[in-house]
Amino acid sequence: MLIDTGASYSILNMTPGESGLFQTCEIIEISGPNGQKSSVPFTGPVPFEIGTAKGSEKFGKMEMNGKPGILAISTLTKMGVVVDLANQKLLHCPQSDAPVIPASHRVMSVKAPELLIHPEWEPRVKRVTEQFPQVWAKNKLDCGQIDTVVVVKGPDPPPQQQPQYPAEAEEGLWDTVKTLLEQGVLVEQQSTSNAPVWPLRKADGKTWRLTVNYSALNQVTPLRTAVVAKYPDVMAAISRGSKWFSVLSLTSASFAIPLHPESWHKFAFTLRGRQFTFARVPPGFHNTPAICHTHVTRMWEKISHKESVLSCAGDILIHTRTKEENLEVLAEVLEAIQKTGFRVSPTKAQLCWKEVSYLGVTLGEEGRSLEKQRVELIQKVSAPADVTTLRSFLALVRFSREFVEGYAEKAAPLCKLLKKDTPWEWGPEQDEAVKTLKESVARAPVLARPRGDRPYVLQLASMGMGLRATLAQQHGAHLQPIAHASRLLTPAEQQFTAYEREVLALTWALQHWEYLVGSAPVLLRTSRAPVRYLLSAKEGNSPTRCPRMANWVLALPHKDTPGDAPEPSAGSYGVVISGDRDGEEVQEMKPRRVPLFESSISLAEAKDRGYVVWFVDGSNYHEDGVSYTGYAAVNRSTGEVVKGRCLPHSIQAAELVAVTVALENTPADQPLAIFSDSGWVVRAALEWLPLWRERGMQSADGKPVTYAKKLLYLAKLAEQRAQPAQIIKVKAHKKGTEEAKWNKEADAKAKQGAKEGQMWKASKISENGPLLVAAGRNRESVDLQGLQAQDPSVRELAQGREYKGCKVWKDVSGLVLARRDGADFPVWVVPELVRTELVALAHEQGHLGTDKTLARLQGAGWWPEMREDVERYVSNCLTCAANNPDAKTTKALLGHQRISGPWSKLQMEFIGPLPQTAQGNKYCLVISDTFTKWVEAFPARNNTASAAAKILVEHVFSRWGVPKEINSDHGQRFVGEVSKGVCQALGIKQKLHITGHFQKPDSMEGPNQTLKTALRKLVNHQRKDWDQKLPLVLMALRGAMASHVPSPQKLPPARDPKLLDHWWQRGEPPDELQPRVLTDR
């Protein structure tokens, strides 16, 4: 007989005379190979044997013109017989591998269907697949059957009423039911339960899918623990070095898992008045995915290469480095599937390919990308016409969100139409959103696979109404993205400051990718100091007083997250501090573009959040043949107007100066919003300026950028701000709005400034080149003459004239010097390029006030408006603002008190408790000489009397001698027995203050209060080692000039200390003296 693996019925070749040998039991209409239908008589069950195998089958009786009869493959399957095509044998499997037909019998013909030999499989793959012929499904519903039986526990669901469904669907549903009955998936059975049938139209629009609503059963059945592998987990588990892949798809995997007969009645449904129920685990039951995944993954327990096999429900992936390994693992997997009883779809199999489609993405050696079919489908979808089509479009695009940077913000105009009670209003905003999403999907990058031996780079952005994050890794010379993530801000989060949004983005991103990152180091790309502050607060180095910040610290994954480190180098990795806030695509490791400005706020929001709001404008016009160019900035809050003339005669230059003026006249620590009607200036500040700086102020064609100096000056002003300034475009010449009112005012003032105002010039920081940084250690001195030669203002001063009580000249060496009236020695004229840095250096060595900082500077250099620059810097110092005591009311001077000489009358006080240092010190004993104002300070472990006495004897009396009088506050530490004993033994009269009397004699609040304030500032920055930095504070304090006596350092040592002049005479100062402004840049 001919074994026909494509036939559904077995046929006996019988002439009409022979047909009477077997009794006819029924007539069945069958179709021939050419589609012609015939009515064929069939016998009842006839026992037969094939070799050693026995079976029983109904046979059709017809004459076949001498051809052999047909034995259907279904007949062999029932007998447990399979066709071994490779060896041309019939095997009785799985009980025995012995052939059922002896070798003496000749196999005349075996008709192999395409289901068993795929035309695209190459010979090596075919040899593997042909070893497991029983594993391949013959049709979509050939699902096989495993041995394990599932019992569904819980009460029986109540019967549900069957709703009406389209009549055209019933015929297709009935055909499906008959097929499932033949496969043994369904059985006909009466039950007290009944679930409603609801057909779904398939993608072809013609056929229907049988679905049953088991919501009532799901409500009464306990939910199993979700063990189904999630898409992100599967993608993360693929080895980085994998180059060869195989994909196997089980056909209706859940239909291969039998239900216990006692559970059948729970899954009953009704069709055409007959009740059926599932004998296998059906879709729609909420435990089906967990049951299916459990039985599939259990197959990999005994294979030797389980690390190369991944599965998600019925989809199996094999990933290996070489093709040989892939074939080896493929053979193990097919063997495991065949032994278990599942079936594999041969038409969906992708065997030993370098690129495969798996879970909706294309996997290859470089990583994963979107399937071309999905991308093409999204491009062809027309704009949604109603809520239903909109949901379908978003469901199609949402899968691509990890490939699309800023997906949440791009889809927001569409998602808001799905909100409850929102009317359907499709407009240009929605059209633009659909276009943007399609373009983003079309340009979706290849996402690299993560490597566990390398750190991750996290880039954050909190612009607009959402959060963005990009996770990347260094692969060779490039920084490649691994995934994008985004979400919208809640109404409450939209009120956060830019700092808070950045910290929120960090917390959310680390939690979102914790499954992927694990314990690997994360390199954070950010220009926000508060983010680094939060990370240090997490380590216990800084306080986190804000409850919101504290909650974010607690929510951060418990892992080391470096916040500031040098650039990665060979063999070592550190954090890259940058500000990729524009959503720039990650491609390679290069200097990031730091956003100087943001544009994410309206005028109403700026007012509500306390922003300083400026409206700016520029004007350029001709009158009587003369060109007039002016600028103006109008402060909305105070009404202040800053206006004037500027050059060159260009409207763009005037608009640029107007923005610059707004920055110049707003303190760096205050939030700033600038409104301008110049689209060029707004785009230049937001987009072009970071790119131009990266190119060395050159355009894309290599030509110098127009107004480069003004733009660089603008950038330097913006960089000094605590947070990026907002710059917002307003519509020009528009009426009826508050923005239009203030914009019109700025325009009018700019026209006035073009004729009446002073000529604008950059006066606070230099336009020429970068700000000064600390000198390298290989330099012996700063090139003073070279710096002066670069400054036009210094050259102008060197003409030899007096300037406000100071004579300026150029000496024979070429150095420009200045001598103030009454000064003994000349000092150098400080160029504009280094003035800010020099002021910072003088001030941050103790954070002294304006007068004392100015006094220290005057010993090192001079320049015009020196006091104004110092006042401006000191008034904008955040450390001083946070720690300086409140101004006291004016008090009458104390009467004259006689002091016999230096160190005859001392003042002392304990400061603390302070943060405990590594040496265990928590207090500081401050001692000052009333006569010379000399100050000493000593760290101490406690503030007891014995500690005070020990310091007095060992460090004060032994060095300066015994004083006649000691003033102290009334407390245990100075009235204790030890302190009393020391004073009495040395003959010292101890004078105590009265408790509650806060007026301290002899200006006790002077040096002691100054030191206490300086110490608080030091502790804020050096919490762990303030005791080691204490001598530096003392050096700065002693070097300050008092208003009524010479410097205290001139009395005991009889000479001036070398402080600032050391910096420019012998190179850079010690590390401890360098202000943060020098090291942070």
pLDDT at 188 over 90: yes
Which of 75-89, 449-463, 887-901 has the least mean pLDDT? 887-901
Q: With residue 340 as reference, give the H or E element that holds it.
A: helix 323-340
pLDDT for residue 875: 73
| Highest-scoring range by mean pLDDT, 164-173, 315-324, 539-548, 1065-1074 | 315-324
Say if residue 54's pLDDT is above 70. Answer: yes
Tokens representing residue 297 in the block = 């993954």
| Count of C-beta atoms within a 10 Å radius of residue 560 | 11
Cis upstream peptide for 648 (omega within 30°) = yes
User: Measuring CA to CA, which residue among 1048, 1073, 848, 1056 is closest to residue 935?
Assistant: 1048
Question: Can you name the CATH fold of 460-592?
Answer: Nucleotidyltransferase; domain 5 (3.30.420)
Yes or no: domain 905-1051 corresponds to CATH 3.30.420.10: yes
Instruction: Write the pLDDT tens digit of every residue in 555-608.
Output: 665 444 444 443 333 333 333 334 443 333 343 333 334 568 888 788 888 888
C-alpha distance from residue 218 to each of 187, 252, 271, 485 (Å): 21, 21, 21, 33
Cα–Cα dist 473/450, whole Å: 7
Mean pLDDT along residues 617-642: 89
For residue 1071, pLDDT over 70 is answered with no
Residue 75 to residue 79: CA distance in whole angstroms:
7
**Between 1054 and 163, whose confidence is greater?**
163
Give the residues across from 447 on adjacent strands: 368
Beta carbons within 10 angstroms of residue 571's beta carbon: 5
Q: What is the mean pLDDT of residues 51-77?
A: 76
Whether 176 has a pLDDT exceeding 80, the answer reads: yes
Would you say the CATH fold of 905-1051 matches that of 598-756?
yes
Higher model confidence: residue 994 or residue 774? 994
The predicted structure's pLDDT at residue 268: 95
Looking at residue 906, what is its pLDDT? 81
CA distances from 300 to 236, 293, 335, 350, 476 (A): 19, 12, 11, 19, 34
**Quick one: average pLDDT of 172-176?**
88
Kindly report whether the global pTM for this prediction surpasses the value 0.75: no
Do residues 1038 and 1048 touch, judged by C-beta distance below 8 A? yes
Decide which of 1024 and 485 is more confident.
485
Higher-confidence position of 706 and 964 = 706
For residues 583 and 845, the model is more confident at: 845
Was domain 2-113 assigned CATH 3.40.47.10? no
- Stretch 148-171: mean pLDDT, rounded? 90
pLDDT tens digits along 339-393: 999 999 998 899 999 999 998 899 998 889 999 888 988 998 888 989 889 998 9
Q: Is 167-368 assigned to CATH 2.40.30.10?
A: no
H, E, C per residue of 888-937? CCCCCCCCCCCCCCCCCEEEEEEECCCCCCCCCCCEEEEEEECCCCCEEE
Distance of alpha carbon 333 from alpha carbon 148, whole angstroms: 19
936: phi then psi, degrees, rounded to nearest 5: -125, 145
pLDDT of residue 889: 45
- pLDDT-derived band of residue 553, with 50, 70 and 90 as boundaries? low
Give the per-residue pLDDT at 973. 45
Domain boundaries in the chain? 2-113, 167-368, 371-422+429-442, 460-592, 598-756, 784-843+859-883, 905-1051
Is residue 260 predicted with pLDDT exceeding 90? yes
Residue with the larger pLDDT of the pair 717 and 591: 717
Residue 1008: pLDDT over 70? no
Peptide bond into 913 cis (omega under 30): yes
598-756 CATH fold: Nucleotidyltransferase; domain 5 (3.30.420)
- Average pLDDT for the chain: 76
Q: What is the DSSP letter of 463?
A: -
Q: What is the pLDDT of residues 203-217, one digit of tens each?
A: 667 788 889 999 999
- Higher-pLDDT residue of 912 and 191 is 191
Asked whether the beta carbons of 301 and 292 are under 8 A apart, the reply is no
Q: Does 702 score more than 60 pLDDT?
A: yes
pLDDT value at residue 901: 78
Helix/strand/coil (H/E/C) assignment for every residue in 468-527 = EEEEEEEECCEEEEEEEEEEECCCCHHHCCHHHHHHHHHHHHHHHCHHHHCCCCEEEECC
**Is domain 784-843+859-883 given the CATH code 3.30.1330.40 in the classification?**
no
